[in-house]
Structure 1
Amino acid sequence: MPHATARLTGALVAAAALIASLLLWAAPANAEDLSGGRLDWGVKESFRSYITGSIAKGEVQTGDGASAVDGAYRFHSATGTYEDGIAAIDYTGWVYFWGHDGELDLTFANPSVEYSGSSGTLYVYVNGTRTDMASLSGAELSVSGGTLSVSGASATLTANGAEAFAGYYEPGEQLDPVSFSADIAAAEAPTTEAAESPTAAAETDQVGGAVLDWGVRTSWRDYVSGDIANGEWAVSGGAADGGAVFRFTEGSGTATAADYTLSYKGTVAFTGTDVDLALTDPVVTATGGKGVLSAEVAGTRVDLVAFEATLAESGGLLLAENVPTVLTEAAVPVFGGYYQAGDAMDPLTIAIPLTADAAVPALPDLGAEPEQPAPSESASPLDADDAAEDTGANPLVWIVPAALVVLFAAAAITVALVQRAKRNRAAQGDPQTTVEEAKATDNAPADTAAPSEPTPSETEGPADQGPDPAASSTEDPEADKES
């Protein structure tokens, strides 16, 4: 029996060594960089209704690439890290609430999240002060196809967040849910290729590699994605979605400062209840600085908006940036009479690279579309490497519990055998049985007290309240937006 005990003790030591080696093998990798994603959050539905309702009589604006989508506000261009199952991500954009003739003046900008497992915190710059706005919970952080995402996390207002609303809501109130995503170790997006033969303005006006940015109109996007049309939009054929703006690419043609004709590639299609509109392959044409943007609509080219802009050379580009546009008479039926001729539409930007290394203005980066986990897929056997690669899960999730089960089972067997051997020796009058061994058997004296288990402390340190968020700003809205 002593030999058996010794062997079990040796096995116990070997199991411990195995666990140590597994821990080293399964140690988490270095931090991975995050880029290209979006965060969707509607703040709170009742607050949005209050701002635009008959009491506050206010308005909501978005900027720096933020946009309204599906009743929420979309912030873009994620940057951050993912390490040891913890994501720390920053996003860009602002949403501005104004009401009560300026007494309510509130800007939420550049939100960020810290998230692990199924919980985290949402931070927002409130009138320039970073504030822990809400506690997040109830949605699992998942990694699939190189994209990290959380969908529909519950958001509970914090004490600091309540101060940001000037007491309009109490701590513990439920805010709108939060969804976010970011791409892991995404390669840098290639810059738009310049014309094969860079343009020399004195020699020729042939250009290529141009881009056109235009968001159609904010209220149109809100209408399509809102509760009435309950629709969406999609880009294809070289167009890109920047949230608040669409980019058309591969522009080519002729261009001087005031006279230019540029044809672009790409389609933006809007669909929904009573909405079926696709704008394809836009063309901008200008003479003497007065221009028109047209596009193919149901097989017919239609002049959509008019504008005035001359192209100026800047940083290796011919550039006309944030040019105001107005709807043409011909485009009124395109939008179902929703707008009238002369109504302001979204501004446009034209950028034409003149050299191979010229970089066009950055488009808000919404990243890859988060993949939804497939419901109840049939399980197939995978080895550890395949499982880690396919799911992104840390091998410690299953290795450590299994190893601990082996370790504890071996320990329990060892203890049981030792106790049994002692009882047998005591029953047979074995002279090796000592007083201490006898006390360890089931015949121990009744007054032998078991050691008491320590009681964990119930006292916790005070929560970090953070800086007090600013009250409604008395500065002008533009200053708030810059903050």
Structure 2
Amino acid sequence: MAAISRSRRPLALAAAVAVALGAGALAVTSASAAEAPLKDYELTWGIKQSYRSYVTGMAAGSFTPAGGATQAADNGAFTFAGGTGTYDSDTHAVRLGFAGSLKIASKLHGFDLTLSDVRFDSGAAEITADVTSGGTTQDDVPLADVTVTRTMTGMETKLTKEAATVLGSASYEGAAGDPLTVVQKTPPTQSPSPTGSPSSSTSPSPTASTSPKPTGSASSTASPSASHTTSPSASASETGAATQGDIADGTLGWGVKQSFRTYVVDGPAKGRITASGGATQASGNGDFTFTEATGTYDTDADTLKAAFKGAVNFKGHEANGSYGLDLTFSGLTVELDGATGELTADVESLGKTSDDVVLAHLAADSSDLKAEDDVISLDDVTAELTKAGAQAFGGFYTEGTVLDPVDLSVALSDDAQLPDGNGDGGSGNGSGTGGSGDSGTTSGTTGGGGTTGSTTGGVTGALASTGSDVPTGALGAAAAVTVAAGAGVVIAVRRRRQA
């Protein structure tokens, strides 16, 4: 493991903490010193869910807690107990150290490291730990920055550059980690220890920040019932288009997942991406455009179903002519009912074909499908991975993962001009437009050498929750081919157009 530079975070929250304390939040006797002792605290943190899935999945590794540390069932988060430390009544900082250690190891992918002496400092807003690897220990390595809250439960974390080194992938730097909770297991019985919240014996006494934890996104909760609350008659009369009928043409812009594209071309996979059969990719390893839409629309009912031509293949981790990653999507279809819908694609895995796999739930900003100049356009439609989509990726993406947004434009008449200026029935011969507006080339390849041929029986296992979260040290080509014998997904191009 590379040497890790030690960099402490500034005391960013002291002023907010002073305001947050409030009357009765802390009882310290007048004779006590500035630092009051704390004990019996627990710290629960999962590092990052996708990293845990990678270790126990593709890497065939294990987590071994010891010395007071435990792990929740089903490869869950880790808890370090026996927390002791101090509360500084001058700076309002909570500083705690916890018992226990966590060994993370994979013989298959060649890593073995141990985290111990885990510490939380609300003043510095960080988690640190001693990291032992290869017989060398680095003390007090900052693993994550923490958005400290008053209750110190469910606090947001952001992985540091040092954590990226520890976990084996530069892509982890700045990535969102699992939420952090620090609670007092057994309330103190006497002062000068901080008192707990009157409403809960498990709430930590020292309050650390006034910043509330943001609530989850509501993008996936849009109600289909709102889709019929507006009248489409004005839209139809203004454009002169019929309110329902067949789609004449259209394009779908979608990047799958930006970090995954980076991982394939510029990351450990050292691979290439090939768009073909009517699909194009924008320059600079950009988004993809799928073309020649067919389907139906109904602006009265605010419904639309459009199938698109083209396929995109991700290939990498080559060893002796075989690939540890060989993934293709084709036959993409978008179906919308008001503000919500689905993105489906054809998937072939290990010789078994699955048609119309629902890859993502879609959520648009508006439930009203309006046509302007005989074109319906939707931009930045939110796409979240489904359970079936996660299975299509071999389980290395989790359900609910946010994918790249979807841009959609469909022509309602033969002479309608799509946003890319193409109104003659598609761009299957190579004039498509990528999601970022840069031109791509049909059957073009980004990264690597040569062009993709037929699939070779390799298995993709190199997928994590953020696309590029798989540790670089664990993904040599030989390891990827070894994994290919037992797990993952092979997806071949299967061109199917909906009549």
Classify the TM-score, shorter chain.
0.3 to 0.5
> Which of the pair has more CA radius of gyration?
1
TM-score after normalising by structure 1: 0.34
Higher helix share: 1
